[in-house]
Structure 1
Amino acid sequence: MPVMGRDRYVDFLRAWAILLVVLGHWLITGLVRDPDGEISAPELLATVPWTQWLTMGFQVMPLFFLAGGYAAGGSWTRARAAGGTAAGWVGQRAVRLLLPAGVYSGLVLVAVGVCSVVGVDPFTLALVGWAMAMQFWFLPVYLLLSALTPGMHALHRRWGARVPAGMGAVALLIGVLDVAMDVPYVGALNYVLVWGVVYQLGFCWRDGLLGGSRPVPVGLALGGGVGFAALVGLGPFPVSLILVTGQDPSNTNPPSAAMLAWGVAQVGLCLLVAPAARRVLEQERVWHAVRVTGAASMTLYLWHMLPVLVIAAAFYLTGLAPQPAFGSAAWWGWRVPWLLVLGVVLVGVVRVLWPLERRLAALDLGARPDASGLGPTWPLWAGLGLSVWALTYFAGHGFAHGGRFPVWPAVALGVGTVLVACRWGTAGRAAGKGRTGLRGEGALEEAAS
């Protein structure tokens, strides 16, 4: 039977995924100060190849898409029952992500502009701009899946688990065209299809199509695990589940058949441990920690690389940081204080930004007379298109590609966010009638509830 109401385990999956993303990025980020005083960031996964195996533990974004699909299915069902429109529902969820992302991007872009004017070295500026946007790949994909949710859920209501199975088959076909036949651009479709399979499995999970009997999660875990092992051991794919420069084919750019198999395996494992995890989450201290993490999820996700820049300026530019050989045993030993110091700085960043996130999460742009959805919806879809393009650009190029200020992506994100926010003001209240939950939760948690 599906779990009705707010499922603590779903909130835990989101919080756990965010924390591992933060820790993973910090772990693989290594700074080196050369004799001239300049700082570089060698790519750990390429420099120390055995570390690519570690990505099997840190690549947990399938958990977030699974939890997102689970929660989105319930949210859209409630909105439909309350008479909400697809445009209102999509706009409301999109603006909860775009406002914090827009504020973050705006502040970073202002800093990039100032640094450009005062003559900061273009290479350094490009490196910092890349570091501050390395997590952005998730946002355009999640926005697209949110926009497609009403249609995807309609397919789910009609065909159930056959939908993710069919999407997986199409993703495999596209993977063959991309890798074996080198058909240009077709692989980009797998950003939506591969992650969409896991998102769609979230619908199935909520409606009891996956967890009703133990053989189903066992089959998903074993089938996905064996498929991943075969595709890596016998097939053309690398073990790394995070992008490694020069690695072709890649498991993430675009998502590969191996990534699809890994995602399916993670879904099965999540279902298997769900009963035990839910018992642990009944403890109020544990549940409180999950809620606190979830409430700050967007701040954690967006701002977690800022502490790296702070520590680089305070300890590496000044020469105070120890400099063991990159990837050596001593270097790994210094990872412990590195992570601890970054964690302390991030806690401070979250405390400073927490009031802003609460205001953004609680922002009410006001309902208009066409809140029923009778008004034009083109501003919403145009805004989403501009925002997705801009976020995709930043994810691929950073905030200062080539050491230059990205004028058109910055304009596109600003205009897109305004268009989505204005459209949400006219349609979001209708969709909001179907919402349950608390205002002031984290934007990622809010967008997936």
Structure 2
Amino acid sequence: MSRDRYVDFLRAWAIVLVVLGHWLITALVRDPDGRITAPELLATVDWTQWLTLGFQIMPLFFLAGGHAAGGSWARARAAGNTSAGWLGRRALRLLLPVAVYSGAVLLAVGVCTAVGVDADTLALVGWAMGMQFWFLPVYLLLSALTPLLYAAHRRWGLRVPPVLGAVALVADALVVTVHAPYVGLLNYVLVWGVAYQLGFCWRDGLLTGRRSATRLAHPARVPLVPLAMAVGGGLAFAALVALGPFPVSLILVTGQSPSNTNPPSAAMLAWLVAQVGLSLLAAPVLRRLLARERVWRVVRPVGAASMTLYLWHMLPVLIVAAAFYLTGLAPEPVLGSAAWWGLRVPWLLVLGAVLACVVLALRPWERGLGVLYGRTVPDAGLRRAWPLWAGLAVDVAALTRFAVRGFAPDGRFPLLPALGLALGTVLVTVPRWTAAERLGQPGATRTTDRV
């Protein structure tokens, strides 16, 4: 089956908006003592919280991820591959670039700690370089659950997302009413799992009445399910914000309780449903646009570099901070003033240029990772998989720690999470070597199919 360009576009669009959103709300101030601080724009200028409705685009990333994972797992299952083999191959594609990025950041943290960099500055930088990691353990967990979720989809279809959503609403009610934070952790899987599960439904035509990757929707026909999702989700979000306890911001704001993202709330779930509905309504028009090769030549490289962009997009902020703020060259109008907003344009352009240079510089590393993946990818028919499961569990714990506390909590080197990520990544590759030994061929695998 040919790839659906629109699915790839959604992934690329989601990453671009995440990058632009983080850059837009990042504010830097040089204190009189020379230190750089980062005041929180969303907490300082209240109206900017409305901007998060446009920049909180991760529901589309999970939707596209579910669409791709459903097709990939269906093909793997039809070829006789095991769930462990399929998961190991997908997880390693994610973990190798994460390990390289984390290794580079941890090396820098270690050097800065050794030379006595200010602990508060180091903690801020470590947090900035790890804040995007919240997505990684959630996506790994959903990938691990894919065979179970897809089996539920095959049996119950469109009834599964509402059930997941209903359980998420119960968990959120407990968080809001009786302050049960650990119950709320379930919503990281349940709420984002709704978008992931909707990706299965979209791929199989349950949301639009046709297989999305094989036919263009008829331009004169408005699919009723996406329309109901867009309208119903939007109205539910408006009601929860206007009448309920939830804020409008779809990004974490310090001191705001309850939050719509930590954990994902009922309001986030409503916005997710609305956003998925809107994306499906827009699909016919955008598919016709993406069918033009000139347009696709622009979109395709962004999608191919999406993981690199996601991981490394805060490095340009540090480079620009060192070049212009530490030196006192950057103008610093009042945060949120007209002059400050006017300077956002050159700010974004400079950061974009620096990120383009970073991506170009990382290309040899990416080619090396491709070779390393080929040499370490787990066997697609893997059955003795305990090292894989143990490695994924350790990786999820380590990545969660980095997401919550950053790469330099309290200005110190995070030794245990660093060792955990290294150990977990190695364990994910162990089944490859054990499988090769059983086959009697060093480095052999049972299939060369790329997931």
Q: 1:432 to 1:168 in 2, by over 3 A?
A: farther
Q: Deviations over 1:358-412 (max 9, x none)?
A: 33134212578x76323x2111111001000110010010000100111111010
1:116 aligns with 2:113: yes
Offset at residue 48 of structure 1 (A): 0.7
Q: Deviations over 1:30-84 (max 9, x none)?
A: 1001122111000100011110000000000000000000010000000011111
d(CA) in 1 for partners of 2:359, 2:369: 14
Q: Deviations over 1:68-117 (max 9, x none)?
A: 00010000000011111100000000010001001100110011011111
1:401 aligns with 2:398: no
Which residue number in structure 2 is paired with residue 257 of structure 1?
266
Q: Deviations over 1:171-216 (max 9, x none)?
A: 0011101111212400000000000000000000000000126111
- The residue correspondences of 1:78-89 to structure 2 (distance < 5 A) are 78-89=75-86
Which residue number in structure 1 is paired with residue 40 of structure 2?
43
1:365 aligns with 2:369: no
Q: 1:280 to 1:427 in 2, by over 3 A?
A: farther
Which residue number in structure 1 is paired with residue 235 of structure 2?
226
Q: Is the CA contact 2:377–2:429 (under 8 Å) kept in the aligned structure 1?
A: no
Instruction: Choose from 416, 419, 422 the match for 2:424.
Output: 416
Q: Is the CA contact 2:432–2:445 (under 8 Å) kept in the aligned structure 1?
A: no
Instruction: Choose from 2, 6, 23 the match for 1:5.
Output: 2
Instruction: Choose from 389, 395, 400 the match for 2:397.
Output: 389
- The structure with higher relative contact order (CA 8 Å, sep 6+) is 1
Which residue number in structure 2 is paired with residue 210 of structure 1?
207
Structure 2 counterpart of 1:139, one-letter code? L
Matched residues, number: 431
Which residue number in structure 2 is paired with residue 248 of structure 1?
257
Instruction: Choose from 275, 279, 303 the match for 1:266.
Output: 275
Q: 1:430 to 1:327 in 2, by over 3 A?
A: same
1:341 aligns with 2:342: no
RMSD (CA atoms): 1.6
Which residue number in structure 2 is paired with residue 153 of structure 1?
150
Q: Is the CA contact 1:133–1:399 (under 8 Å) kept in the aligned structure 2?
A: yes
Structure 2 counterpart of 1:410, one-letter code? A
Q: 1:126 to 1:431 in 2, by over 3 A?
A: farther
d(CA) in 2 for partners of 1:52, 1:190: 22
1:31 aligns with 2:28: yes
Q: 1:427 to 1:19 in 2, by over 3 A?
A: farther
Instruction: Choose from 266, 276, 280 the match for 2:289.
Output: 280
Offset at residue 435 of structure 1 (A): 4.1
Which structure 1 segments of 5+ residues have no match? 437-449
Q: Deviations over 1:5-50 (max 9, x none)?
A: 2000000000000000000000000100112211100010001111
Which structure 2 segments of 5+ residues have no match? 210-221, 437-443
Q: Is the CA contact 1:371–1:427 (under 8 Å) kept in the aligned structure 2?
A: no
Q: 1:226 to 1:430 in 2, by over 3 A?
A: farther
Structure 2 counterpart of 1:364, one-letter code? G
Q: Is the CA contact 2:92–2:377 (under 8 Å) kept in the aligned structure 1?
A: no
**What's the TM-score, normalizing by structure 2?**
0.93
Q: Is the CA contact 1:367–1:425 (under 8 Å) kept in the aligned structure 2?
A: no
Structure 2 counterpart of 1:269, one-letter code? L
Instruction: Choose from 124, 137, 142 the match for 1:140.
Output: 137
**What's the TM-score, normalizing by structure 1?**
0.93
Q: Is the CA contact 1:14–1:64 (under 8 Å) kept in the aligned structure 2?
A: yes
Percent of aligned pairs sharing the same letter: 72
SS of 1:133's partner is helix
Instruction: Choose from 145, 168, 172 the match for 1:171.
Output: 168
